[in-house]
Structure 1
Amino acid sequence: MDGKQLLIKHFNIEAERASFPAETICYESNGLLYHIIDVTGKEQQYLYELHQMSQHMLRQGDRRTAIFLRDRNGRFLITEEQREFVVLVSEKPASIRAFTGRRLAHFHLRGQLLSFQVHSASELGKWREGWEQRLERLEKSISQLVKEQDDPFAQLIVQSFPYYMGITENAIQYTVDTEIDESPQQWDSGTICHTAFSEQIWMREPAVHQPFNWVFDHPARDIAEWVRSEYWQGSLFYRTRFVDFIGQYQQVRPITAFTWRLIYARLLFPVHYFECAESYFAKGSWHVKKENEERLKRYVASSHEYEQFLASFYNRAGLSANQLNIPAITWLQ
């Protein structure tokens, strides 16, 4: 699919391929960026909700947001070579020199004002169900791996699964207990979040907020995934980085006890393990599988250190778990 010809044919736009690496097929012209997204097989309702979310964020003043572009016939969805595409347009923003908790909090504040009801693009209140289903799928897949005696990656997945299954069950129970014990406050309503947030999503070129990276969810999701990402990169070695991020965020949006418990539940859920194990069954390249095998070796070898991090999590965040009536997980002590 020739993106340049697609833009001319459907939008009467002449643009050149962007000079920087981007996560999508990206072209630029007259200070605007055009992102071509393959949406073959995506539900119409899902696409419509992302369109509404992106329009909302732009109206709220987020000028980094890419919005859906209508073609010359007024349609968002176009077909080329028996595949479906949408084009997002955004300004070419300046790079973000430094990411702060304040930036993320302002993003959540804008997203929280969304009045449109999101269904297909929402995971709000669905963590427990999603984790249970993910665990069940992986368990079924792993039951077939006992035959793969000669594959070290397969054997590593099989051997480590009981440990990570136990942690997953802890995360599910912690979420259930949170929903029973704590009452959500004003700041616990849903907002626009990211499917898997990290600083790199905002820092890389181009620094555009791309709605196909979004999901409607509790703000605890992004905070937890920032913590997870920074932990595995070794950036939380210095306690002040964590405390500064939380302090900056709370200058804009308070973090309630309910939110803290959801953050903790999400950090308990070993998504890093699932991503590696699931890659074994995906139709990826040998190179990608090898990378995930090495990552999984690192995670398994570092499991005790991660337990220690979880055990000291609230203290690292500068919180008193006792004052907030947040229960501890005894086996991590």
Structure 2
Amino acid sequence: MLELLSEYIDGFQGSEVTIDGMKGYRLDEDCFFIIPKSASDKRYFEQKAVGEYFFQNGFTRFAIPIVNKQGDLFTEFGSQPYVVMYANLSEEREYTGHGANLASFHQMGRNYPYQPSEAVAYGQWKQLWISKLTLFDSMFQQQYNERPVSRFQRLFIDTYPYVSGCTENALQYLQEAESEQRFDEGDGGSFTFQRYSGQVQKQMIWPDEIVYDHAARDIAEYIRGLLLQPDSALSEIEQFLSEYQSIKPLSIFSWRLVYARLLLPIHLFDYLETGISSRDPEFTFKGYVELLENQPEYEQKMRTFFADLGLDAEALHIPVLDW
């Protein structure tokens, strides 16, 4: 595949490198990844524009689709179109706290001068959650009508009504939150991640992970990961939020979106989806059982979420689910 890079750079002599499971070639701080084309032309062109914007504003670890010597974004090699991603892996980065780094990323995303049209989820949570619920309702009915074979299938049938009920609660909370009038300029759309798990702190930011949405998406998903840890320390969440709000304080609207997203049992849906589509659903059985066993603790954390963070939900007129 190194031969393909000759369409981009003359006499490239880089060495192989693997980052996040992706193989590429590196020369000093310059890194190139050759990736089979898997999305629309429009998606890649927008990724290029967004990546260049972040790169020019200091996020040089953002992988950017680049054009070849002919000015084309795609290069045929062995009858397969490829995209080449470029990133600068400079090690000289000033340390910034995780929360502050994410807030800066979101702030920069809000200032993007164009309206994105690809991978947009801003204002669409309700529609997306209903679609997910409808899909899994159909899966449940199909599994219910068939004779369950595996332990996972039987567990899915037994527990899905609970998952569905949690989702209905999240949808109701979201619908009420959308009427919240206490918002500010920070509640506009920004660039976030499909499923945030600390990507702004990692060596590389991949453009296919980016989605245009409300910043609450990333905040909630990072907090979810901490809440799901049995021995999670509240201090980690407090530090993350303190760092984030040192750059951009959260409005009441943002807090309510964070809470609504945490109510949505995405972590349970993930295991269900993996187990249903897997040829060996037993592989996910134990993980799903463990999550279900920890769910009462998760619910308890959601009951005291605002109080634990020092927010008086009653005084601020923020509804809290009590199950």
TM value normalised by structure 2: 0.92
The one of 75, 83, 99 aligned to 1:101: 99
2:195 partner amino acid? A
1:273 partner amino acid? L
Paired residue for 1:72?
69
Asked if 1:208 is matched to 2:204, the reply is yes
In structure 2, distance between residues paired with 1:234 and 1:44: 44
Asked if 1:262 is matched to 2:257, the reply is yes
Asked if 1:174 is matched to 2:177, the reply is no
Q: Which of 239-248 and 175-184 deviates more?
A: 175-184
In structure 2, distance between residues paired with 1:316 and 1:84: 52
For the residue of structure 2 that corresponds to 1:180, the secondary structure is: coil
For the residue of structure 2 that corresponds to 1:182, the secondary structure is: coil
Paired residue for 2:85?
88
Contact residue 123 and residue 216 of structure 1 kept, 8 A: yes
In structure 1, distance between residues paired with 2:239 and 2:205: 23
- Would the alpha carbon gap of residues 279 and 82 (structure 1) be closer, same or farther in structure 2, given more than 3 Å must change? farther
For the residue of structure 2 that corresponds to 1:125, the secondary structure is: coil
The one of 220, 226, 237 aligned to 2:222: 226
In structure 2, distance between residues paired with 1:240 and 1:248: 12
In structure 1, distance between residues paired with 2:135 and 2:79: 31
TM value normalised by structure 1: 0.89
Paired residue for 2:152?
153
2:126 partner amino acid? R
Cα distance, 1:39 vs. partner? 2.8
The one of 110, 113, 136 aligned to 1:112: 110
In structure 1, distance between residues paired with 2:275 and 2:62: 34
- Would the alpha carbon gap of residues 95 and 127 (structure 1) be closer, same or farther in structure 2, given more than 3 Å must change? farther
Residues 243-285 of structure 1, C-alpha deviations (whole Å, 9 max, x = no match):
1111111100110000000000110111111111111343x56
Identity %: 26
Contact residue 50 and residue 121 of structure 1 kept, 8 A: no
Asked if 1:327 is matched to 2:323, the reply is no
* Count of aligned residue pairs for this structure pair: 320
Aligned CA RMSD, in angstroms, stands at 2.1
Contact residue 120 and residue 211 of structure 2 kept, 8 A: yes
1:188 partner amino acid? D
Structure 2: give runs of 5+ residues left out of the alignment.
none
Query: In the TM superposition, what are the counterparts of 1:162-311 in structure 2 within 5 Å?
Result: 162-199=161-198, 201-204=199-202, 207-234=203-230, 237-282=232-277, 284=278, 286=280, 289-311=281-303
For the residue of structure 2 that corresponds to 1:302, the secondary structure is: helix
In structure 2, distance between residues paired with 1:175 and 1:53: 29
Cα distance, 1:111 vs. partner? 0.9
In structure 2, distance between residues paired with 1:16 and 1:84: 23
In structure 1, distance between residues paired with 2:180 and 2:28: 54
In structure 2, distance between residues paired with 1:35 and 1:317: 42
Cα distance, 1:98 vs. partner? 7.8
Contact residue 7 and residue 14 of structure 1 kept, 8 A: no
